[in-house]
Amino acid sequence: MSKFGFTISKDQQIDYDHLSRELARYIQKAEPTVYRCMSCGSCAGSCSAAKFTQFSFRKLVTGVLRGDDRHIIGEIQKCMLCGKCMLVCPRGVNTRNVIHQLRKALNERNRHEV
C-alpha cells in the first residue's frame, strides 16, 4: 500500500459518562473568567513555557472543562506564571489565576489521596 506521509489520528472521543467534571466545577467557581475562553490559542502563541516545552494553556483548559484532566498534573508544572498569556487574551481570561487555582486544587487532591 502507498504511504502518503500521514496516519490516522488517535480516537479523541470524550466519555462524559465516566469522566469527572469535579475540577471543571471547581475552576468555574474559583476563576469564573475561565468560561470566556474560546480556544483561540493566542495564549499558547505567546507562552514562555511553550518555547521550551509542549505546554499549551488552551489545551489544558479545554481538557479540564471537558472533564478530561488525565494529563494535567505533568503539564501544569511547566507554566512559569509569567502572565504573558493574560496580556494577549482577547477574552480577558485570568489565565495565571486559572493555573494557580488548578495547582491548588491538585495539591488538595493529592493530600487527600496520600
Q: Cell numbers 486544587 label which residue? A: 105
Range in contact with ligand SF4 (rule: CB under 6 A) among 3-11, 46-54, 65-73, 104-112: 46-54
The 3-class SS string of the chain reads CCCCCCCCCCCCCCCCCCCCCHHHHHHHHHCHHHHHCCCCCHHHHHCCHHHCCCCCHHHHHHHHHHCCCCCHHHHHCCCCCCCHHHHHCCCCCCHHHHHHHHHHHHHHHHHHHC
Instruction: Please check whether residue 109 is in contact with residue 72, taking contact to mean a CB–CB distance below 8 angstroms.
Output: no
Tell which one of 23, 27, 47, 76 touches ligand SF4 (CB under 6 A): 47
Among residues 93, 94, 101, 102, the one that binds ligand SF4 under rule CB under 6 A: 93
**Of 2-10, 12-20, 47-55, 69-77, which segment contacts ligand SF4 by CB under 6 A?**
47-55
Judged by CB under 6 A, which of 29, 52, 70, 83 binds ligand SF4? 83
Q: Which of 57, 67, 72, 75 binds ligand SF4 (CB under 6 A)?
A: 57
Query: Is 40 among the residues that bind ligand SF4 (CB under 6 A)?
Result: yes
Binding site for ligand SF4 (CB under 6 A): 37-43, 47-49, 57-58, 79-85, 89, 91, 93, 95-96, 99
